[in-house]
Amino acid sequence: MDYIFEVSVYFQATNPKPVFPTLGKIDPRLPPKEKIWGFNVGDDYVAITEDFVRDGGNGVRNMSIGGEPVVASWDKDAGSLGIFRRPSSAPIKQTVDVHGRVGGKGKPLERLNTVKNGAFWCVWATFFPQTRVNPNS
Q: Is residue 68 classed exposed, middle or buried when 0-12, 13-18 and 19+ CB atoms within 10 A define those classes?
A: middle
pLDDT of residue 20: 61
> Is residue 40's pLDDT more than 70?
yes
Q: What's the whole-model pTM score?
A: 0.85
Strand 132-133 vs strand 44-49: parallel, antiparallel, or unpaired?
A: parallel
pLDDT tens figures, 58-103: 999 999 999 999 999 999 999 999 999 999 999 999 999 999 999 9
Question: What's the confidence (pLDDT) of residue 71?
Answer: 98
Q: Which amino acid is at 110?
A: E
